[in-house]
Amino acid sequence: MGETARQREGETGLLSPPSAPADAPPRPLAPSSARRLRGSGRWSGSLVVGLVILLAVLLLSVVGGWLVDPKDGIVGAVTPSQPPSARFLLGTDSQGRDVLTMLVLGTPQTIRIGLTAGVVGVAIGLVLGLLSGYFGGWFDGTVRVLSDALMTVPGIAILLIIAINVGHMTPFLMGLTVASLSWMYPTRSIRAQVLSIRERPYIAVARANGASEAEIVFREVMPNLLPFIAASFVGATSGAMLASVGLEALGLGTNDVHTLGTMIFWAQKYSAVLRGQWWWFGPPIAMIATIFIGLFFVSAGVDRFANPRLRQQT
Amino acid sequence: MRPNDAVGPAAEPVLQVEDFAVYYDTPRGPVKAVDGVTFALRAGERLGLIGESGSGKTTMGTALLRLNRPPARIVRGRVLLNERDLLAVPERELARMRLGEIALVPQGAMNALNPVMRIRDQIEDGLLAHGQLPKRELAERVAHALARVGLPPELADRYPHELSGGQKQRVAIAIATVLSPRVIVADEPTSALDVVVQRQVMLTLGRVQEGLGAAVILIGHDMGLIAQFADTVGVLYAGRLVEHGPIDDVLAAPRHPYTRMLVDSLPTLEGKRELRGIPGLPPPLLNLPPGCPFAPRCPYAFDRCVGETPLPQVVAPGQRVACHLYPSHAELPPPPAAAGARLG
Amino acid sequence: MSLEYLVTRVGQLLLIVFIAVTVNFLIPRAIPGDPIESALQTRIAMTGSTDVNVQEVAAAYRAKFGLDKPIWVQYLNYWRDIFRLDFGVSLVDFPQPVISKVQAALPWTLGLLGVSTAIDFTLGTLLGALAAWPRAPSFVRGLLPPFMLLSAVPFFLLAIVLLSIFAVELRVFPPGGGFDPVRIVRFNLPTIVDILYHAILPSMSLVLGGIGGWALGMRAMMVSTLGEDYITFAEAKGLPARRVFLWYGMRNALLPQVTRLAVALGSILSGAVLVEAMFSYPGLGGLLVGAIAGKDYFVIQGIVLMLIVSLALSLFVVDLIYPLVDPRIRYQR
């Protein structure tokens, strides 16, 4: 049922313009993405809220980076298990590390992992989606079966296999690891769009005018894909960040670099919760929650103009 | 198909609609989908309400049972049924009147039935909402309701997707008539059916209606269908009832220019007349200017039509028209030549 | 039965199992050196434990895997062992077979997942449907935004927050585990109550985080269902509002929602594993934390395969629901 529903969606296309009333002026054949962005004002609120939250997080970690001493994030650097005070604003953990320092150092790393996976996932998705949607055939079939299958399994199963086989985990490798599951949604979304764009009259016009396939793809198809690429990027980044934080919390993260996920792992490992050391596990949780809520608003905002139905389906 | 003089003019009205108005609230102001409609329906009468899409006919059909949803809003009027105003009764009473006294045969046979419920349950639902019945009687009533529309009782245990379009529409009629209502509102009951099935369904509806002695309001856009079925006809234009009268009189001598165009669009037996559409589009109902809404398309329009809204007036026994040509004319004159050229 | 759908989904799962097993097989062999010995050395280096005789375990594994044989023979043997549910032995609890560990954990995971998903699916769907129902009390619509925000936050973070509030600060729920460790687990009422008591916080984290997503999807679906002709006809029959809402509206809007459930099961399972890890729950997630900490490679492999088995089982259950919800499926498929 889900299979057919999603397939049907791919075939009909999500953005085929609604039939215009007879007395309305004829619609331009290829509405540019810029026009679509400007045209609908409703999503902007949610997008702005999300972007403001994310920018605030980034700003905090940049400004914080100037204020803290990275050495305070090394085991044994400060007095262990101190509650927040004027000296240690967010207290210290039981291993003698300053929580604020770890938080300030870890936040950009977690965001970096997410962005790495988002870029890689969207790049793979763009290539696969374009090829798959544009040329179809056995390639399309293979991509679809594979992405369908990977979309439905517990992602953690796949990621575990990769992560336990990675010898020395770094934020970049973690990004690549979670990227292995970040390409399916972009692929499907872009493929569906390509299928719908391919059938529009202006493509036939371009072809009749003697444009090559490459020209058609880059001049006519790509510009119309931009909002969908943006939406996929937000989705892929958010999913990858969730996966990386989860893997790190299980202890599969980096050993020598602070991330928000490894902070959770250490807090768990040394029973910060049971000892009531809220200043240790609280800040990374609050930071992760803030980032995800920001991403949630952004994706709600972006989806409204890009892809209102695909997400509901998946 | 049409019963001969089954309804005398003296028969008591079962339904009286007075100054009925339904507006759609939009950010740019109210859209007057139904505006000041008045008519009466006698027991056993078949009234055909005809109009183009956008004339407010479906809005009116659903609003007669207070089934309109926001942004549609009933702004004024009375719908008197058995001496009670359906628009004013409390909700519990309204639920009792629906199906019990006034029933809707919905538009679009395809989607009118709940796809996940057996036909039996959908019929029983209506019965049980109006009082408890022992199991055995329920089964009998279901079988009887199906038999009334010419369907075998086994059909009760099927799901809608197992029925044909014609069967589904008959089931809809069976459901609507299960409690022998006084008034049946049939909203384009045969849209999306092919012509042969259309005819069968209309015959079924007619038979059931006669059996019950109920009055029918048949809503449609097909003058041919209504001409075959109805005793009286009401012509809706831009939410207003522009002409209302016995079908034979209206067909023989339409008084409103718009009705004339509808009648002219009918193919005759000889088939000689060239089929003609009605030129122009119905007006947008938002911010209608004062004056006759048909004036922009009317070949007869003169200055008074632009500034002053015509009110319905009796022009012949039982025939009412909202047009400024009356009472100065007795009948609709032949169209002016200049206008004919304009219509092309 | 939606047979075709079931076949497709099982086919997808088999494909994934194939990929997972093959990757699992290839990666250790692609890395130079003796995989067993290096796994054990890493373990000793990481954990500082010397309780395992490296040579003995390595010899046992070498014999089992036949690392001296051609690679395709190893590959076939690998598959043969999987079909025999022989995932090797635990390195931490040598020589306990991996299968006995994961088998013991599986019911806990399925139980937690099943009960929590049933609850959050039901509550979320109901909330979403009510949010689309014009007659619903207005506070219902007010519930939606907070749940949507909660659904944006990862399950296991909610787990930590709930743990610290209800188990550590207020001390109303146990701080972890699946049952009281001093209890002798028997099938009797106190045991069941104890298990439920321990399951409340973990399942609450899954439920609180899950409701928003279901509500959002259901609201959209319900809005479009309420525009259907059969809703108007149902109202025209004079039915009570409750009947129209449940049997004409919700019943129909539920269909895509069940599809969504089938698609989402995988990610719900991932979430549940992490929540278990936070609660040291005796399911696969709790087992996983220990296995990762001890670099118990073969147990992790066993957990991965068991996760896919869990998904297959849950999918099967969801698929049994389909024909109950939609009478058309039997005929269309």
Residue with tokens 């044994």: A76
Nearest one of B207, B229, B211 to B219, comparing CA atoms: B229
B147 touches chain C (CB under 8 A): no
Q: B131-137: list long-range contacts, CB under 8 Å, 24+ apart.
A: none
Number of CB atoms found within 10 A of residue B74's CB? 17
The distance from CA A219 to its chain's CA centroid, rounded to whole angstroms, is 26
Closest chain A CA to residue C286: A250
Does C321 contact A at CB distance below 8 Å?
no
Q: Distance (Å) from the C-alpha of residue B150 to the closest C-alpha of chain C?
A: 21
Q: What is the pLDDT of residues A22-67, one digit of tens each?
A: 333 333 333 333 334 343 444 468 889 999 999 999 898 888 888 8
Query: What is the distance in angstroms between the Cα of B110 and the nearest Cα belonging to chain C?
Result: 9
Instruction: Determine the pLDDT at residue B309.
Output: 85
A-chain CB neighbours of C39 within 8 Å are none
Using left for φ > 0, alpha for ψ between -120 and 50, and beta otherwise, residue C92 falls in alpha
β-partners of residue B241 are: B236
- Enter the tokens of residue B43: 């027991």
Give C-chain residues touching B129 at CB under 8 angstroms: 237-240, 243
CA distance B19 to chain C (A): 23
For chains A and C, CB pairs below 8 A equal 157
Residue contact B129–C238, C-beta within 8 A: yes
Query: Which chain C residue is nearest to residue A308, measuring alpha carbons?
Result: C220
- Assess contact for C258 and C325: CB atoms under 8 A: yes
- Whether the CB of B186 is below 8 Å from some CB of chain C: the reply is no
What is the pLDDT at residue B274?
A: 52
Are C237 and B112 within 8 A, CB to CB? no
Instruction: Give alpha helix (H) positions in chain C.
Output: 3-30, 35-47, 54-65, 71-83, 98-132, 138-152, 155-162, 189-226, 229-236, 241-243, 251-279, 284-293, 297-325, 329-332
- Residues facing C92 on adjacent strands: none
DSSP E strands, chain B: 13-26, 29-42, 46-50, 72-81, 84-85, 102-105, 183-187, 215-220, 232-237, 240-246, 313-316, 319-321
Is B114's CB within 8 Å of C247's CB?
yes
Give the range among A260-269, C37-46, C191-200, C267-276 with minimum mean pLDDT.
C37-46
- CB contact under 8 Å between B98 and C328, yes or no, is no
Q: Are B237 and B282 in contact (CB under 8 A)?
A: yes
Segment C70-80, tens digit of pLDDT: 778 888 888 88
pLDDT beneath 50: ranges in chain B:
1, 3-7, 272-273, 275, 338-344
User: What secondary structure letter does DSSP report for C89?
Assistant: B
Complex ipTM value: 0.85
Closest to C298 (Cα-Cα) out of C88, C46, C19, C79 = C88
Q: Is the peptide bond before B317 cis (omega within 30 degrees of 0)?
A: no
Best residue in A6, A9, A143, A156 to probe C by mutation, most C CBs within 10 Å? A156
Q: Is the peptide bond before B327 cis (omega within 30 degrees of 0)?
A: yes
Give the whole-angstrom CA distance, residue C151 versus residue A311: 15
Question: pLDDT below 50 — which residues of chain A?
Answer: 1-43, 308-314
Angle at A96 between CA C155 and CA A264, to 5 degrees: 10
Interface contact flag, B112 C229, Cβ < 8 Å: yes
- In this prediction, residue C41 carries a pLDDT of 66
Would you call A76 exposed, middle or buried from its count of C-beta atoms within 10 A (0-12, 13-18, 19+)?
Answer: exposed
Please indicate whether, in this complex, the C-beta atoms of A278 and C13 are within 8 angstroms of each other.
no
Name the nearest CA neighbour of A182 among A113, A130, A106. A113
Task: For chain C, positions 223-262, list CB contacts with chain A under 8 A.
Answer: 255-256, 258-260, 262
Q: Residue C27 and residue A165: Cβ atoms within 8 Å?
A: yes
Q: In terms of C-beta density within 10 A (0-12 exposed, 13-18 middle, 19 or more buried), how is residue C265 classed?
A: buried
Residues of A in contact with C274 (CB under 8 A): 156, 246, 249-250
Interface of C with A in 155-194 (CB under 8 A): 156-157, 160-161, 163-164, 167-169, 175
Query: Which residue matches tokens 């085991």?
Result: A75
Separation between Cα atoms, residue B186 and residue B106, nearest integer Å: 6
State residue A73's pLDDT score.
81
Give CA–CA dist B223/B189, Å, rounded: 14
User: Chains with ≥3 Cβ pairs under 8 A against A?
Assistant: C
Query: Looking at the complex, does the CB of residue C292 fall below 8 Å from at least one CB of chain A?
Result: yes
Strand partners, C89: C97
Question: Which neighbouring-strand residues pair with A266?
Answer: none
In B97-123, which positions are buried (b, 16+ CB within 10 angstroms) versus exposed (e)? bbbbbbbbbbbbbbbbbbbbbbbbbbb
Residue B168 contacts C where some CB pair is shorter than 8 Å = no
Interface residue C24 vs chain A (CB under 8 A): yes
Which letter does DSSP use for residue B35 in this model? E
Neighboring chain C residues of A152 at a CB cutoff of 8 Å? 9, 12-13, 262-263, 265-266, 311
CA–CA dist C275, C281 (Å, integer): 8
Paired tokens of B258: 């718009």
pLDDT tens digits along C273-323: 999 998 889 999 989 888 888 777 788 888 888 888 788 778 778 877 777
Residue from the list C24, C154, C292 with its beta carbon closest to the beta carbon of A250: C292
C289 → closest Cβ in A165, A251, A285: A251
Q: What digits encode the pLDDT tens for the residues C251-263?
A: 999 988 888 888 8
Question: Per the structure block, which two tokens stand in for C42?
Answer: 């890493």
Q: Report the candidate in C114, C101, C8 with the shortest Cα–Cα distance to residue C306.
A: C101
CA distance C311 to chain B (A): 28
Q: Return the CATH fold of B13-321.
A: Rossmann fold (3.40.50)
Are B340 and B261 in contact, with CB atoms under 8 Å apart? no
pTM, two decimal places: 0.81
The distance between the two most distant Cα atoms of chain B, rounded to a whole number of Å, is: 70
Q: How confident is the model at residue C161 (pLDDT cuts 50, 70, 90)?
A: very high
**Position with higher pLDDT, B9 vs C141:** C141
More confident residue, A8 or C68: C68
C175 pLDDT tier (thresholds 50, 70, 90): confident
Cβ–Cβ < 8 Å for B18, B66: no
Q: Does B125 touch chain C (CB under 8 A)?
A: yes
Cβ of residue B107 closer than 8 Å to a chain C Cβ: yes
What is the C-alpha separation between B109 and B170, in angstroms, rounded? Answer: 9
**Element at A179 (helix H, strand E):** helix A171-179
Do A296 and C148 make contact, defined as CB atoms within 8 angstroms?
A: yes
Least confident of B4-8, B87-91, C16-20, C109-113: B4-8
Query: How far is residue A232 CA from its own chain's centroid?
Result: 7
Contact list, C233 vs chain B (CB under 8 Å) = 104, 106, 112-113, 172, 175
Give the model's pLDDT for residue A244.
92
Contact A12, A310 (CB under 8 A): no
pLDDT of residue C32: 56
- pLDDT of C35 over the 60 cut: no
For B191, which DSSP code? T
Percent helix, strand, coil in chain A (nearest 5)? 70, 0, 30
What is the pLDDT, as a whole number, of residue C219? 92
Cross-chain CB nearest to C234 (options B62, B108, B114)? B114
Planar angle of CA A72, A60, A83, nearest 5 degrees: 45
Q: Where are the extended beta strands (E) located within B100-231?
A: 102-105, 183-187, 215-220
Asked whether the beta carbons of residue C233 and residue B95 sit closer than 8 angstroms, the reply is: no
Scan for tokens 């076949």, then name that residue: C7
CA distance A235 to A241: 10
Q: Which residues of C fall within a CB distance of 8 Å from B70?
A: 134
B157 part of contact set with chain C, CB < 8 Å = no
**pLDDT given for residue C6 in this prediction:** 66
Shortest CA gap C267–chain A (Å): 5
pLDDT in tens, C227-245: 888 999 999 999 998 999 9
| Phi, psi of B313, deg, nearest 5 | -140, 150
> What residues contact residue A259 under an 8 Å CB cut-off, 6+ apart?
A106, A109, A110, A113, A171, A174, A244, A245, A248, A253
CA–CA dist A186, B223 (Å, integer): 53
**Contact (CB<8Å) A312/C217:** yes
Residue of chain B nearest C249, judged by CA positions: B114
Q: Report the distance separating Cα B239 and Cα B38, nearest Å.
A: 11
Q: Which two tokens stand for residue A131?
A: 């090829």
Boundaries of every domain in chain B: 13-321
